[in-house]
Amino acid sequence: MSSHAPKVLEVKIRPYQSQSQDRPDHKHTSRVYVCTDILLDLQLKSGETCYLWKISEGEHTRREAVIWLAAEKLSRKVVQVSKALQEACGFRLSDEVCIARGGELATAQEVKVKDVGATEGDIGELRGRDKECWEWVLEDCFARAETIFPGMTFKDVLVRREKRTFTVHSVNGSRSSVAKYDEVSSIKITSATALSGGATPTAIIEHKSLQLVDIAGIDQALGELNNFLSDFNRHFKFTKARRSPAVLLHGGRGTGKTFIVDKITNTGWGKVRKITRTTKPAEIQKTFKEAKLAQPSIIVIDDMDAIVTKDGTILQDVTEAICEGVEELTKDQPPTSLPRVLVVATTSDISKIPMSLRKRGRFATDIMLPIPDAAARKAILKSSAPQISPETSDQILDDLGERTHAYTPEDLALLLDQAHITAEKRLEKSEQESTQDNFVIQEDIEHALLVVRPSAMHDITLRPPKVRWHEIGGQDRVKEAIQLALETPFRVSVIFPPRSPVGTNNIPASRDHAGLRRVSHQRSASLRPSWLFQNPYGSSCSHRDGVQLFCCEGS
């Protein structure tokens, strides 16, 4: 878990001990009184602000108040809230609320006030000099209150034998903040028409965009991911669908899963919390709970297969803790929106993720990061901006993109690193000191290609054994059938699209083997043109050496 997570405490609402503290002039009614322990936990001091919100409603409903050390002894499980603030916030006695750290108390610049009687149509609206007169009287009321907040109501204010009731509508454009009133503050009695015009109150938190841009080589996967991320800012019209804030990124080693997770966390959209192999089930549940209370948040579960399994055995307690945590996020959430908690997990082998985690409402959304094709490899190489002469850069990188079949994005990065290291050593041996030659050249690229090999080919044979048909004795009918299966797709392009993988295998009943075949087919498709063989035919074994993938370079 992140050490920078904000402290959030759960407390209950209690009234002021002395009713005289709830004064008619509203002085100090913006205060919430707490014990010393709460001040220390939140790292606040009297006079600073805190945030309060009902646990049942979520942080998006939070209200700001002034925190203050209580004169009498209080439990760390309660806060004292004035009746005026309770009514403004919609709190009731014994409500369970969250309290979190705020900051310095701001100064009220503009205060919009609603004339309750005029708004309800009981009396006429104030205009001209009458309006200015009432605003002048309200200045005195606010000055005596010292701090003001939306919902604060001044009843039966008397001017020239006329009584009116006023309620603070917004402070500095916000419907949820608290501020100090002083001589620079201005009051504006707003008409009922203006208030009903739908002026949107300023949000307490400015949520940053949760979209990823400028990632080369994964256009389709990036589009799917951004489409999923856009749901956090979407108001759903089809509310019957069960949605989840969790997404699973999967792909082979070096395909960019961790890179994308880092991009997401660097958006600054929310506080980042991490679940690792050492995180215990109780801590996992606490992580989800804290994230729900401190929205927006991002929960990262990198290499989830290593977290939920051990030596091929599913860790039930860890798996159940994650399942319950994801479902808890959407509990009591309106079906028109997602909770502002993104759960992003990664795995190199999706078949190792327990099906209980991939059920509806959990990690039902999965996005595959494929091994890049030639066009994607060229885009990745060019986006890396290697130190190559501008005159030859495009030609060298285009050629390199064509030659690096089955190289992952990580392999390409290592390849360029090696080319730069080779160029550095080459220049050290050279007596030339001119900066004009400080570029990676084709010779450096060739050396790097010998050092860095494609990691996606660790179980793939680029050059099949040189066994000729005539060297295989007997089985003439079998050989003819295999030859027909292998050659037909290349000869009859109308029926079979070019560059498609050709496979000859039997579908086993074994669930594990079926998962292996599915992954093998996905990999062969991403490495096409390729041939997928299963040996022995009809075997129900579940080992990787039961499948051979032969990859053919070229078209």
pLDDT at residue number 330: 87
Q: What is the DSSP string of 240-256?
A: TS---SEEEEE-STTSS
Contacts of 244 (CB under 8 A, 6+ apart): 326, 330, 360, 361, 362, 363, 364, 365
Residue 192 identity: A
Q: CA 122 to CA 125: how far, in whole Å?
A: 10
Determine the CATH number of domain 107-195: 3.10.330.10
CA gyration radius, the chain? 33
Single out the residue of 208, 199, 142, 138 nearest to residue 174, CA to CA.
199
Q: CA 306 to CA 315: how far, in whole Å?
A: 10
What the block records as the tokens of 155 is 């009843």
CB 2, CB 41: distance < 8 Å: no
pLDDT at residue number 546: 42
Instruction: Indicate the domain borders of the chain.
Output: 8-104, 107-195, 219-368, 374-456, 461-551
Return the exposure string of 382-393: e unless at least 16 CB atoms fall within 10 Å of the residue's CB, then b. Answer: beeebebeeeeb
CATH of 8-104, picked from 2.60.40.420, 3.30.450.30, 2.60.40.10, 2.40.40.20, is: 2.40.40.20
pLDDT of the chain, 555 residues: tens digit per residue: 344 446 789 999 998 866 545 677 888 899 999 999 999 999 899 999 999 988 888 777 889 999 999 988 899 999 999 988 998 888 988 889 999 988 888 889 889 998 877 655 567 778 888 888 888 888 889 999 999 999 998 888 888 778 888 899 989 888 888 999 988 888 888 865 555 544 333 333 444 568 888 788 888 888 999 899 988 888 888 888 899 999 999 998 888 899 999 988 888 888 889 999 999 999 999 999 888 877 788 999 999 999 999 888 999 999 999 999 999 898 878 888 888 899 999 999 898 999 999 999 999 999 999 888 889 899 999 888 899 988 888 898 999 989 888 888 998 999 999 999 998 888 887 765 555 568 888 988 899 899 988 887 655 544 556 677 777 777 788 888 888 887 777 676 555 554 444 433 333 333 344 454 555 555 555 555 555 555 554 444 444 444 444 444 443
Query: Do the domains 107-195 and 374-456 sit in the same CATH topology, yes or no?
Result: no
With both helix axes pointing from N to C terminus, report the angle between 393-403 and 374-383 in degrees, rounded to the nearest 10. 140
- DSSP alpha helices (H): ranges in 124-272? 128-145, 192-195, 219-229, 257-265
Contacts of 507 (CB under 8 A, 6+ apart): 514, 517
Single out the residue of 410, 409, 406, 395 nearest to residue 445, CA to CA.
395
pLDDT at residue number 354: 92
34 DSSP β-pair partners:
69
Architecture (CATH level 2) of domain 219-368:
3-Layer(aba) Sandwich (3.40)
pLDDT at residue number 305: 92
pLDDT at residue number 13: 92
Determine the CATH number of domain 374-456: 1.10.8.60
Secondary structure element (H or E) that encloses residue 95, with its range: none
Residue 442 identity: Q
Single out the residue of 353, 349, 326 nearest to residue 250, CA to CA.
349
Query: Strand, coil or helix: what is 458?
Result: coil
CB 149, CB 64: distance < 8 Å: yes
Q: CA 286 to CA 375: how far, in whole Å?
A: 44
Distance between the two ends of the chain, CA-based, in angstroms?
Answer: 49
pTM above 0.75, yes or no: no
Query: Strand, coil or helix: what is 163?
Result: strand
Q: How many residues can be counted in the chain?
A: 555
Query: Strand, coil or helix: what is 1?
Result: coil
